[in-house]
Each structure stands twice: as C-alpha cells, then as structure tokens.
Amino acid sequence: MTAKTFYLETFGCQMNAHDSEKVVGTLLARGYTQVETPEAAELVLYNTCSIRDKAEQKVFHRLQQFKRAGKGKVFGVLGCVAQQEGEKIFDKAPHVSLVAGSASYTKLPEMLVQLEAGARRVTGLSLDTEETFDTPFTRRDNPHRAYITIIEGCDKSCAYCVVPFTRGPERSRTSASVLAESRQLAELGYTEIQLLGQNVNSYRDPSPAGWDFATLLTRVGEIQGIRRVRFTTSHPRDFGKSIVDAIDENPRLCNHVHLPVQSGSDRMLGAMQRLYTRDQYMRRIEWLKNSPRNISITTDIIVGFPGETEADFLQTLDLLDQVQYDSLFSFKYSSRPNTAALAMGDHIPEEEKTRRLTILQERQRAIQIQRNSETIGAVQEVHVEGRNPSLGQWIGRTSQNRTLNFTCADENGESLIGKYLPVRVTRAGPNSLAGESAANML
C-alpha cells in the first residue's frame, strides 16, 4: 500500500481527542497528508469510544457505510472499541486492516510500515506495557489551549466501567517529561494547559523525584507564560486536600474541579465499587466549598445502575440539592463487556432509566439557572475561544469553566481569539452566561 492521504475521525473523551492529536502528528511525520473527508482519503482511521453501547455502535455504523464504497482504501480501528473487540473486528468488517488499542500507539510507526507493505491484518492489542505514548510529533488542534497526558490507564475497577479493560493498567509519565512538554508549549505561545488522565489524582512520578499530583500541578502552574492550568478527571477516593491547597495558592490553577460522584446512595456506591461513601465524598466537597477561590464543582452521574431503587435515586437528587453543582454529565447505565455489573441482577428497564435521567436533568437545570444567575454583575476574566458571527459575540471561557459569550464595543475588527479579557456578566441561562467586555474598566 502507498496510502499517503489519511482521514481520522475521533469519538469520545478528551483522552481520545488528545490521542488523536498524537496519532495525526505521527502520520504527518511519516509523510502522510490529512484530508477532510473519508472519500478523499486512502487511509481511513476511526479512534473509537466504548464507554457506552451507543458510542460503540457508531464505529460499526461508519464501517458499514464503506463496506462496498471503500474499495481501494485501507481502514483502521483505533482506541477502546479496537481493544475491546480485538480481532473480532476483522470478522465483522473484513475491509478493516488495522486494529490497535491506545496502549499500542507507541508501535504505530511499525504498524504503518506493515500496512504500507500491504499487510491485510495488522494488530496492536497488548495491554502488557509500562510505556506511555510520548511523541515529539503531537499535532495540536487548538493554538492556545493544549492537552498533556500525565497518566494513562486505570487501576480502579468500577463495576460498570470498561476503561481498565480498554486502556490497561495505570502508567504515569515522569515529571521531567511533563514539565519539558509544558515549557515547550509555553514557548510556542500556548497559555492554557489541561492535564489529562482517567484518574489524575493517582499520578505518581516514576522518577526518583516521586512527585504526587498536587506537586506536579503546582510546578506546571509556575511555568512562565502559562496563565491557566486545568485537570481532569479526579477520582474522589484519591482526591487529597493538597490539591485544594495548591489551587488556593496559585490563581493560575483554574478554580474548577470535576469530581465524578456517580450516585448519592451509599448502597449504589458500594455496588459500583467506587471505594468511597457519600460522607467521604462530602468531606471533599467541603474542602472545595471552604476555599477562598470560589471553586466551581462539576460531576458525572449514572442513573439506573442494576438494583437502583427509587429510594437510591432520590438520594442522588438530594445530593444535587446539597452540593449545588455548577454543571454535570448524566448517563443512563449501559452494560459493558467484561465488567462486574454484567453479572448483577435487577437490571432497570430502559423507560425507567429515561424517566430518572429526565428528572435528574430537570433538577440540575434549575440549580444551574440559580448558580449562573448569581454571577450577574460580576466581572470575570475569560479566555477567548471563538466567535459567533451571527450573534456578533465572542465566545469566552471563565476560569470556573463556564462559557461566557460577550460583545466588545471597541474591538476594531481585530480578532480577540486567544486573549484574556475582563467581561461583565449581564445575563445567565442554564448552560452559559452572556456579557460585555469590561476591558476599559480595569
């Protein structure tokens, strides 16, 4: 094969989006050219997600479209579905030539050599690795905000979750390589860094320095030129007070923490094998609420986990009232291969899951309207991310991770994207704020 054009579509989380940036960089370094449509490409890659059944089905739907129309093209399935389904993908979609999970991306150059030599079934499926996918070739999609992976894989075993099976065991990068990448990004003009991992709190520097996550976070926040540092995701069990202390001490560390709780019921937390109780979770929430930084708090919730009763669900609603989250991601439980929850009895009917999800989202919507309206009148610094020409507005993000769309009277036709500006909040909806530039007022 001499495929020199490629198309890559990414599904799923920020980890996948960032993996794709590294895959794209690796391909460009080998002389490939990226194209915008699968039709124009000789090599078509899908970086897949299998966190829920719906996400998984998407890739098979895509592949189906090209079963006949894809003659002459080379197809590859990367990421979590690749790892989960393995060589079965070749049976389901015989026009696929490459199946590789994220733990094998370090071997991508060798796999490409095999594909270029005409190999029809190339795989990278071993999870037995201590390596992380570090590459000098990362091709970042955003010129101002950059992702940096600090830890790959997951050593927890939440009863519903497929990630430990698709991304393998935890592997932390050395603090030296994370700092070197951060400094390099600052030199290139990046001002915002987001540290990534399935559980960033269990970061442990493998070099003799042995830094924990709070130390790494502090040090990244000290790099000259970096104005904002974010991180995701935090597992409550490993979320220590030292992280809140680090945020308190350095305003460059954003005042936002995503702390997935999954359920407000201790019975469900136990069944989910989350390794904390509601009380222990609430202690962490208190640390955050007591911070002088006014830290925004967001979470993930699963409704309809096997055995979830109405009483359990009501406890989750009660938790929302108690915490007053600034935002949340909510999901209906989806059975995943290999997970402990598969064997559990009392699966909740789909309509009931939908009912609970709707109630949960309505309750949270009311909380967000209230939380967001509390910001009206305040001046907040935004990092400008884009422009909405039809509304004549700039799209900004606050340190608390709220979207704040704003107008600017004296912009003089110049692009504000990438700038940091003070904006006065004038209106609030459930999902975003609106305001006007307050630049002349400071």
Binding segment for ligand SAM among 145-153, 159-167, 219-227, 406-414 (CB under 6 A)? 159-167
Whole-angstrom Cα distance, residue 398 to residue 404? 7
| Nearest to ligand SF4 of 221, 304 (CB atom) | 304
Would you count residue 199 as binding ligand SF4 (CB under 6 A)?
A: yes
- DSSP structure string for 86-115: TTHHHHH-TTEEEEE-GGGGGGHHHHHHHH
Amino acid type, 109? P
Would you count residue 247 as binding ligand SF4 (CB under 6 A)?
A: no
| Nearest to ligand SF4 of 161, 382 (CB atom) | 161
Size of the residue set binding ligand SAM (CB under 6 A): 18
* Choice from 32, 46, 160, 211 touching ligand SAM (CB under 6 A): 160
Site for ligand SAM in 322-351 (CB under 6 A): 331, 333-334, 336
In whole angstroms, the minimum distance from the beta carbon of 13 to ligand SF4 comes to 10
For the record, the structure tokens of 365 come out as 């919507």
Whole-angstrom Cα distance, residue 373 to residue 299? 20
Site for ligand SAM in 281-310 (CB under 6 A): 300, 302
Contact 151, 199 (CB under 8 A): yes
Partner in contact with 333, chosen from ligand SAM, ligand SF4, none, beta carbon below 5 to 8 Å by kind: ligand SAM
The pairs formed by 288-292 with CB atoms below 8 angstroms and a separation of 24 or more are 288/244, 288/257, 288/259, 291/244, 291/247, 291/248, 291/255, 292/248
Q: For the chain, state the CA radius of gyration.
A: 23
In whole angstroms, the minimum distance from the beta carbon of 22 to ligand SF4 comes to 20
Would you count residue 235 as binding ligand SF4 (CB under 6 A)?
A: yes
- For 65-187, where are the E strands, in sequence order? 74-79, 96-100, 122-124, 145-149, 151-152, 171-172
Partner in contact with 51, chosen from ligand SAM, ligand SF4, none, beta carbon below 5 to 8 Å by kind: ligand SAM
In whole angstroms, the minimum distance from the beta carbon of 160 to ligand SAM comes to 4
Partner in contact with 334, chosen from ligand SF4, ligand SAM, none, beta carbon below 5 to 8 Å by kind: ligand SAM
Contact 258, 288 (CB under 8 A): no
Would you count residue 161 as binding ligand SF4 (CB under 6 A)?
A: yes
Task: List the one residue out of 279, 336, 338, 276 whose CA is nearest residue 306.
Answer: 336
Would you count residue 253 as binding ligand SAM (CB under 6 A)?
A: no
* Choice from 166, 255, 262, 364 touching ligand SAM (CB under 6 A): 262
Amino acid type, 341? A
Per DSSP, the three-state class of 289 is helix
In whole angstroms, the minimum distance from the beta carbon of 271 to ligand SF4 comes to 13
Whole-angstrom Cα distance, residue 306 to residue 348? 6
In whole angstroms, the minimum distance from the beta carbon of 214 to ligand SF4 comes to 19
Strands 145-149 and 43-48: unpaired
Would you count residue 360 as binding ligand SAM (CB under 6 A)?
A: no
Size of the residue set binding ligand SF4 (CB under 6 A): 9
- Rule CB under 6 A: which residues touch ligand SAM? 13, 51-52, 160-161, 163, 198-199, 233, 235, 260, 262, 300, 302, 331, 333-334, 336
Footprint of ligand SF4 on this chain (CB under 6 A)?
A: 154, 156, 158, 161, 163-164, 198-199, 235
